[in-house]
Amino acid sequence: MITLKNASRVYYIGETEVSALKNIDLTIEKGEFVCIMGSSGSGKSTLLNVLGCLDTLTEGEYILDDININLLNKDQLAETRNSKFGFVFQSYNLLSQTTALKNVALPMMYANIKLEERFEIAKKMLCDVGLEHRLYHKSTQLSGGQKQRVAIARALVNNPEIILADEPTGNLDTVSTAEIMKIFTDLNKKGKTIVLITHEEDIGEYGNRLIRFSDGKIIYNEVRK
**In a domain? residue 106:** yes
Residues 6+ apart with CB under 8 A from 83: 158, 160
Pairing of strands 33-38, 193-197: parallel
Q: What is the CATH number of the domain that holds 186?
A: 3.40.50.300
**In a domain? residue 78:** no
pLDDT score at 225: 66
**In a domain? residue 68:** no
Domain count within the chain: 1
Closest listed residue to residue 108, CA positions, set 136, 127, 86: 86
**In a domain? residue 48:** yes
**In a domain? residue 3:** no
**Which residues span the domain enclosing 198?**
31-57+83-223
Each residue's pLDDT, cut to its tens digit, for the chain (225 residues) gives 899 999 999 998 888 898 999 999 999 999 999 999 998 889 999 999 999 999 999 999 999 999 999 999 999 999 899 889 999 988 888 998 899 999 999 988 877 788 899 999 999 999 999 999 999 999 999 999 999 999 999 999 989 999 999 999 988 999 999 999 999 999 999 999 999 999 999 999 999 999 999 999 999 999 986
**In a domain? residue 62:** no
**In a domain? residue 7:** no
pLDDT score at 91: 85
Report how far residue 46's alpha carbon sits from residue 149's, in angstroms, rounded to the nearest whole number.
Answer: 24
For 64-112, the DSSP string reads ETTEEGGG--HHHHHHHHHHHEEEEETT----TTSBHHHHHHGGGGGGT
pLDDT score at 152: 95
